[in-house]
Structure 1
Amino acid sequence: MSRTLQSRLAAAAVTVSLLGTAVWSGPVNASALPAVPPRHTGQADITGFPRQNVLPVWPDNPADASIAIGVIAYDDIAPKLNALQKASDRVSARIAGKSAGGYDLYAVTLTAPESRAQARQQEAWKRLIEDEPAKAQRDRRLLAGYKTPLFVNANIHGNEWEGTDAALRVIEEFATSTDPGVATLLERNRLVFNITSNPDGRVAGTRANSAGYDLNRDLTIVSQPETNLIRELVIDTKPIITLDLHGYVNPTLLHPSTPPHNVNNEYDLYIKHGLPNALAIEEDLRGLGHPETSRARIPFRDDEPGVWDDFPPIYVPSFAMLQSSIPYTIEAPLNPRGDLTPAEKVRRSGINTDVHEVAIKTSLRYIQEHRAEVLHDQAEVYRRGWAGEPLRDIPDGYVPGWGPEDDYRTTFPRAYVIPTGPGQHSETAAARLVDLLVGSDGRVWRAKRDFRAGGRYYRAGSYVIDMHQPKRGLVNSLLEPGIDITERVGDLYAGPAAWSQGLTWGATVDPLWRDLPDVRLERTYDGTADGDLPGGDTDLRLDLQDAADLLAVNSLLDHGVRVHRLADGSVVVPHSPTNRRLAAAEVREHDVTFERAPARWQGTPLDEIVVGYLGAAEERDTLREIGFEARAVTAETLAATLTDDVDVLLVGANLDLAGLTAENRAALDAFLARDGGVVGLGTAGAGFSNAAALLSVTATAGPGLASGVANIVNRGGPVTAGAIPHSFINQPVWFTGLGAGVTVEQSYAADPLLSGWWATNEAGTDGQAAAAGQASIVRGVSAAGNGVVLFGTDPAFRLHPKGLQPQLGRAVLWAAQR
């Protein structure tokens, strides 16, 4: 029987009685670690509610794309919130950050007034739920008095507007209501709203922010200021339910989702609430009386596996679930964009606003009706983490529609160690990874002395991640390799199907499966890398294994230092008092580690490098993260942008050479004639190389949704010498039919996919077997003298695979000056 049919037959049986399903329990074990300070520094700065601020008002903007849709313009939001704060002591609004485009980000808390003492008690209870969950589950005062939080994230896609309007409608209604029921509701709850999490896109009418990023793909990388705020609000609010308000899917789409499910979630504790509340929202949508809201689409019930999953932790709801929240993507049904009459746009946006209002109010009601259960289960996630209990084997039929296709689980190691010292591939990468873990509310410790564990020796100061911690699922989701889901899912909503910052960020990370290291540990809240500069009057070598190393090199070049590239891709800074002083400044600024240069070294002198790029925000910002000046180039602007100071062309998007104007083709030919270097990404880069008669290769691409962590073999050379043993792929590409003078720097292993999804067509020409052993990075010099490097992996994907950034940087250095 298909999943969809089975679910539909069973759906009618779903009622609130699902909450009677047994909850597994186990012994409550304390962590082996000593008591540690909480994530927050203390309660001295906690004040009561309201916490009101007069928000600056933005100038009127008639070009705001919101206006034509019939929703509130961005510049009217601050006046609205100011008026509500003036009218009601239930509303607290603040500027919580700035968008990429410089707009104010508004966070609003809606709750009954609290004295300072009451607010401090709420904070103490919130911490107790996470730090001592078993005690919290039995604490009668907490269960009676804790204000259960609801978090609403609105308008993350800028041209999906109506979540903002629904949030403001609910705030206004509850702030000004004289209904005793509303007063009681706000005495027992805190509602936290991110009013518009993408004001750039709201004003411009674009899905992405002004930097060019889809923000609902940026958790947990958090490369953008808007997603940094979302992460902070989820962590600090600790919401029982999280609502991420979107459009437009008809009928209204309501999370929960189809498999694959993130293997690190306590899914039994989620789905027992996630499904009945979705059904309750559907029922309340019917009550609106609009024909367009007579039914909803609940992927878990209605769709086949892979159609709409909650697998990667890059979405707001999937990240929130790993924080022990019951999350939802809510996709309102009616698209108000396009060639519609003004009246029809207003009608559609009005119905969408109604839909989001229902989602907020129904979810709030669900929390009230099942308060004891949802509080217990949020704490239960943390309790299982502290106790180190295995993930539950959820029986078929646990909720209607639950079957073997939903069974996604992992095994947690006892601990991870991120070494410092000789066993660490990159100290700066390790520090960056620790910062990601801590910033995501994971817990990290440092060893106070040297120790041995798992048959390895580790230096004092090595990071230890005890997996007996409350948010172990979040931590493990970042660090574990992931799984190959190719055989389990025939479809995939979106990539990546594996991510593993533990393998793709450039740091060495060791799992310990049995025992916590026998060493005294101290909680740390910051990743640090202590750079080094050898003493004496010696030439200095820097091995480029992290973005920080490239930043240091480009900074030295910017200061006029004559840096030399060696054959293995590392660089040497010849000794002089000035060079040593500048190198020392880079050690302090970027925490890089220089070593003594080899005797009688020989290298190629480098100059400052300007890179023109064909691509999007990812190519631009990856180049900037490794310190290169990045200049946007398009087919229409080649003559204006590919000027004499451009040294390398990064080709990350297709360029039709035959379609160029004579002027633009002449500019490209002039660039190549002066030995301009080329770095190509994927089939676009290979296609350009062939069309321009640079390197002759045959590029084959895997399926468009194939993505994940690849097993690779580094052959050494200026691009991959010393590189990490894994790579990141997003539609993998491999190169065959290599022409004369083409050198393979890296290839796919015999078993190319470590984790992710990579299916094949019926002919088997685009699958893993076809890629096995084939080249993934090649380089060569064209007959005309151009240095060319082609990547079949993806070092620029959404700023995610930071461990691959040095490979891209080394390729640029080699292509620019061989």
Structure 2
Amino acid sequence: MRKTSVRLTAAVLTAALTGTVAWTAPAHASALPAVPPAAAGPNEITGYPRQNVLPVWPDNPTDASIPIGVTPYDEIAPKLNRLQAASKRVSARVAGRSSGGYDLYAVTVTAPETRQEARQQEEWKRLLEEDPVRARTDPRLLADYKTPLFVNANIHGNEWEGTDAALRVIEEYATSTDPAVTRLLARNRLVFNITANPDGRVAGTRANDAGYDLNRDLTIVSQPETNLIRELIVDTKPIITLDLHGYVNPTLLHPSTPPHNVNNEYDLYIKHGLPNALAIEEDLRALGYAETQRARIPFRDDAPGVWDDFPPIYVPSFAMLQSSIPYTIEAPLNPRGGNLTPQERVRRSGINTDVHEVAIKTSLRYIQDHRAEVLHDQAEVYRRGWAGEPLRDIPDGYVPGWGPEDNYRTVFPRSYVIPSGRGQHSEPAAARLVDLLIGSGGRVWRAKHDFRADGRSYPAGSYVVDLHQPKRGLVNSLLEPGADITDRVGDLYAGPAAWSQGLTWGATVDTLWDDLPDVQLTRVYDGVAAGSLPSADGDLRLDLQDAADLLVVNSLIRKGLRVHRLADGSVAIPAVPGSRQLLKDEVRAHGVTFERAPAGWRGTPLDEIVVGYLGTVEERDTLRDLGFPTRAVTPTTLADTLTADVDVLLVASNLNLSTLTASNRAALEAFLARGGGVVGLGTAGANFGNAASLLTVTATAGPSLASGVANVVNRGGPVTAGAVPHSFISQPVWFTHLGAGVTIEQSYAADPLLSGWWAASGAGTNGQAAAANQASVVRRVSDGGNGVVLFGTDPTFRLHPKGLQAQLGRALLWAAQP
């Protein structure tokens, strides 16, 4: 546990930090480069209020909110409509649709603004990022800029009360005649995501309708709900971000324990994050409830690794990389469970709503009390980025409790190049990565001419990422490999302990430590994969290195073209009359690159492959991204779902043969007897392969929290030929004692972990040393003719490792027709 020698109040800590402890930031070193204007021009900006009549949803008596005593989803739109009708301070809109089809509501609360005033606010907001030195010395901006606060409520559907606290604050500020509220709204914009997960709110589930925990998706952005959260944070540039949750008793609120994300300007966060947390704790105590007399602040109260802010997958950790002061607020009292009376549920949800209301109001007060400093420090994050300054070495004691265990820093390269042309592993992957960087608030340029950098040649059109940019921490967090933190921390709140879309999304990304390419650059606002098709007729080859390539293969098969799998896992398409236009359409739709097929090629004809999957939504949606028709399979439904049209069984969760009913066992045996293929993930796949006598391996799993980016050696073959030398792991698995006929396609390198966390547990036989040089992907044709592939890596984890999806797709093609 952390210990501090002095019990500090928020006021004492703030005074200390604004006095001798804080250093003076160096002046802006150089003029800013010209930056193209943002997409929304001044003529598109209107004043406030911006009111809309929200569609009203039908009454739903089964809404899980009702027994908790909070606002049912169908009552949210009518309430917001009434508030808009009653007050010019409230602007509400439908900002998107959830996975399950519900409206997502974004609400802004502020004093009315003319169009000219709103345009001025937008110019100031942009100026903070574009020219931070000028912005923070502009007397008009400092006096009149409306500092933003962002509240994200109910991201976990069965943690309801954040929505009700938001509605309560909106109603109070909409209708109050208190002059203090009038002044408050004249100097601030409050932006609310009223219910970030209406699917879960109605159903009483943590996840959305698609089955995803949205608070693990912020740098993957696979769900419509997280796309909106990202848009609101990037657009709002909030000084403080609040993500309202439940239930941890006593109330838990950030700042967090180490490890900290190595790309953050953590000194500029913790100097505000800790005193505001202490102020929230004081105000919670003032509520008078026995349950709110103390908060749990992990930075102060917990050991390293208990509740960290390391991966940028959470709303707060993503917001910090956007130069916001973020908080997870976990209200204390769980109103769920069958042993509670209706009165107790309502009592608990009422206290939780009060807790979240305090967090909102205290944070807003902190912004007002420290307005000049928080504006200066938000701009300082951007200034350091533009100037390319190294991260600060934060001295021990910078705030009470800060020590060597907190000091996580990276070294920024000067730039990155994402090549185009032959130097690029996958053009669709590169375009996808560029879209992620830009959508997350980063900046990307393209070279107008060929150039050389760091001894390599690059063609015109290659992307250049200049890290002298305001949100360099966010960009670098996505592109850098990461670090092995195994020896620094004995625990993690959750994985992944490394992510690196620069290594795991399938694109080639080159790091230039000292150089910015000397070539004319044009800023771009989306990624483009043009693809190509040889000009002359003839047989064509498509190397399957991205999900887009698999989508094309499955599309061509469905359209009746003959497609053949070659020995290296690529495919050949014979030239036939009428095929060229179909291929052009696929190039245009997916940006894939065809090349001439090798002379005298021979391959295995491919039919449409139907995949039965035994797993989670992650397997379901990865298969969708690859274009395979699917059937959901469970141990109890094999007889109904493992029908004659299923060609391959994807085993990602346990299938215990000894517990199957006679009919389900018969269906499985019939599938295997007709030569059905099997692709297995992790120990579940290996256990099934052994039990069904398809192959013999011993599978060993690392600790459950071991995760990150692994170094791998690809041996070639239909699954891994041409694959990148890195893979994503989440509880890595390796295969030893390989039986007859088992071929190793990929193995862990001698140093298996490039970045992440992977300690040994138990007897110490499942650490990195035990996995070194051992097989990570194997295949075999069983004695009965079944194609079998096992993965010890994780190609489906939360839809994150895009670069591994093609390996899974190639495995399915081979297993179906080995």
The alignment's TM-score, normalised by the length of structure 2, stands at: 0.99
User: Size of the alignment, in residue pairs?
Assistant: 815
Aligned pairs for 1:697-716 (under 5 A) are 697-716=697-716
Cα deviation, 1:537-587, whole Å, max 9, x if unaligned, reads 210100000111000000001101110000000000001122222111111
1 CA distance for matches of 2:119 and 2:11? Answer: 43
1:16 is aligned with what amino acid? T
Farther off after superposition, 270-279 or 759-768: 759-768
Q: What code does the residue aligned with 1:120 have? A: R
Preserved contact between residue 31 and residue 469 of structure 1 (Cα < 8 Å):
no
Paired with 1:506 and 1:446, the residues of 2 have a C-alpha distance of: 19
Given that 1:8 and 1:301 are in contact with CA atoms closer than 8 Å, whether structure 2 keeps it comes out as no
Matches within 5 A, 1:36-75: 36-75=35-74
Q: Which runs of 5+ in 1 are unaligned?
A: none
User: Where does residue 738 of structure 1 map in the other structure?
Assistant: 738
Question: d(CA) in 2 for partners of 1:41 and 1:122?
Answer: 13
Describe the superposition over 1:12-67 as per-residue Cα deviations: whole angstroms up to 9, x where unpaired.
995321233323422423478x4121333311110000000000000000010000
**Distance of aligned partners of 1:150 and 1:446 in 2 relative to their CA distance in 1, 3 Å threshold:** same
Match of 2:817 in 1: 817
Q: Is the CA contact (8 Å cut-off) linking 1:534 and 1:596 kept in structure 2?
A: yes
1:415 maps onto 2:406 in alignment: no
Work out the CA distance in 1 between the residues paired with 2:528 and 2:186. Answer: 43
Match in the other structure for 1:15:
13
- Secondary structure in 1 aligned to 2:794? coil
Match of 2:457 in 1: 457
User: Which SS does the other structure have where 2:62 is aligned?
Assistant: coil
Deviations 1:634-666 (A, max 9, x none): 111111111000111101111111111111111
Does the 8 A contact of 1:10 with 1:401 survive in 2?
no
| Counterpart in the other structure of 2:166 | 167
Distance of 1:395 and 1:535 partners within structure 2: 62
Is this contact kept in 2: 1:8–1:302, CA < 8 A? no
- 2-structure distance, mates of 1:164, 1:764: 46
Question: Hey, what does 2:724 align to over in structure 1?
Answer: 724
- Greater mean deviation of Cα atoms: 243-252 or 666-675: 666-675
Query: Cα–Cα, structure 1 residues 187 and 82, in superposed 2: closer, same or farther, change >3 Å?
Result: same
**Would the alpha carbon gap of residues 807 and 64 (structure 1) be closer, same or farther in structure 2, given more than 3 Å must change?**
same
- Identity over the aligned pairs, expressed in percent? 80
CA positional deviation for 1:137: 1.2
Whether the 8 Å contact between 1:241 and 1:327 is mirrored in structure 2 is yes
CA contact (8 A) 1:94 1:107 kept: yes
- Asked if the contact 1:698/1:737 (under 8 Å) is kept, the reply is yes
Shift of 1:302: 0.1
**Aligned twin of 2:632:** 632
Q: Is the 8 A contact 1:743 1:778 kept in 2?
A: yes
Give the equivalent residue in structure 2 for 1:784. 784
Matches within 5 A, 1:284-683: 284-339=283-338, 340-683=340-683
Q: Deviations over 1:71-105 (max 9, x none)?
A: 00000000000000011110000000000000000
Residue of structure 2 in register with 1:105 after alignment: 104
Q: Which amino acid aligns with 2:2?
A: T
Aligned to 1:5: 3
Q: Is residue 107–residue 192 contact of structure 2 (8 Å, CA) maintained in 1?
A: yes
Mapped contact 2:566–2:603 kept (Cα < 8 A):
yes
Matched, 1:29 2:29: yes
* 1:19 maps to amino acid: T
> Would the aligned equivalents of 2:10 and 2:279 in 1 still touch at CA under 8 Å?
no
Match of 1:232 in 2: 231
22-31 or 241-250: bigger deviation: 22-31
- Give the Cα separation in 1 of the matches to 2:46 and 2:409: 42
Output the CA distance in 2 between the equivalents of 1:19 and 1:360: 23
Q: Is the 8 A contact 2:107 2:193 kept in 1?
A: yes
Match of 1:691 in 2: 691
Q: Quick check: 1:19–1:273 contact (8 Å CA) kept in 2?
A: no
Q: Deviation of residue 515 (structure 1)? A: 1.7
Change (3 A) 1:55 1:41: closer
Q: Please give the TM-score of this superposition, normalised by the length of structure 1.
A: 0.99
CA distance in 1, matches of 2:400, 2:355: 25
Distance 1:622 1:453 in 2: 36
- Asked if structure 1 preserves the Cα contact closer than 8 Å seen for 2:697 and 2:737, the reply is yes
Local SS of the residue matching 2:18: helix
8 A contact 1:27–1:387 mirrored in 2: no
User: Is 1:211 matched up with 2:216?
Assistant: no
4+ residue runs of structure 1 moved beyond 4 angstroms? 7-14
Quote the Cα distance in structure 1 between the aligned partners of 2:569 and 2:305.
42
CA RMSD in angstroms comes to: 1.1
Residues 400 and 610 of structure 1: is their aligned pair in 2 closer, same or farther, counting only changes over 3 Å?
same
Displacement, 1:106? 0.2
Q: How far apart, CA to CA, are the structure 1 residues paired with 2:570 and 2:251?
A: 55
Q: Which residue of 1 aligns with 2:749?
A: 749
Contact 1:91–1:110 (CA under 8 A) maintained in structure 2: yes
**Which secondary structure state, in structure 2, belongs to the residue aligned with residue 345 of structure 1?**
helix
Q: Which amino acid in 1 is paired with 2:364?
A: L
In structure 2, the gaps of 5 or more residues are none
Contact 2:260 2:310 in 1 (8 A): yes
Determine whether 1:763 maps to 2:800. no
Partners of 2:749 and 2:772 within 8 A in 1: yes
Q: CA deviation at 1:6?
A: 3.5
How far has the Cα of 1:535 moved from its partner? 2.1
Instruction: Verify: 1:197 aligned to 2:196, yes or no.
Output: yes
Amino acid at match of 1:611: V
Question: Counterpart of 2:226 in structure 1: which amino acid?
Answer: T
Q: Look up the equivalent residue of 1:718 and give its one-letter code.
A: P
Moved more, 213-222 or 652-661: 652-661
Q: What is the CA–CA distance in structure 1 between the aligned matches of 2:359 and 2:353, rounded to whole Å?
A: 10
Residue number in structure 1 paired with 2:79 = 80
Alignment CA distance shift 1:524-1:415 (3 Å):
same
CA distance in 2, matches of 1:657, 1:249: 40
Residue 12 to residue 4, structure 1, CA distance change in 2 (3 Å): farther
Q: Please state how far the C-alpha of 1:813 moved relative to its aligned partner.
A: 0.2
Matches of 1:7 and 1:360, distance apart in 2: 30
Given that residues 503 and 509 in structure 1 are in contact (C-alpha distance below 8 angstroms), is that contact kept between their aligned partners in structure 2?
Answer: yes
C-alpha contact 1:7 1:301 (8 A) present in aligned 2: no
CA deviation after TM superposition for structure 1 residue 5, in Å:
2.3
Distance in 2 between residues matched to 1:11 and 1:623, nearest whole Å: 53
CA distance, structure 2, for counterparts of residue 41 and residue 699 of structure 1: 54
Q: CA deviation at 1:716?
A: 0.3
3-state SS of paired residue (1:57): coil
Q: Is the 8 A contact 1:695 1:782 kept in 2?
A: yes
How far apart are the structure 1 equivalents of 2:458 and 2:227? 33
2:27 & 2:85 partners in 1: Cα distance?
Answer: 51
Task: Write the distance in 2 (CA, Å) between the matches of 1:673 and 1:181.
Answer: 77
Distance 1:373 1:565 in 2: 62
Native 8 Å contact 1:152 1:167 kept in 2: yes
SS at match of 2:653: coil
Answer whether contact 2:438 2:444 (CA < 8 A) is retained. Answer: yes
3-state DSSP class of the match of 2:713? strand
Once the two structures are superposed, what CA deviation does each residue of 1:300-330 show, in whole Å capped at 9, x if it has no partner?
0000000000000000000000000000000
CA apart distance, 1:422: 1.3
How do 1:129-144 and structure 2 match up within 5 A?
129-144=128-143
Could you say if the C-alpha distance between residues 29 and 57 of structure 1 is closer, same or farther in structure 2, counting changes exceeding 3 Å?
same
- Comparing 226-235 with 34-43, greater Cα deviation is found at 34-43
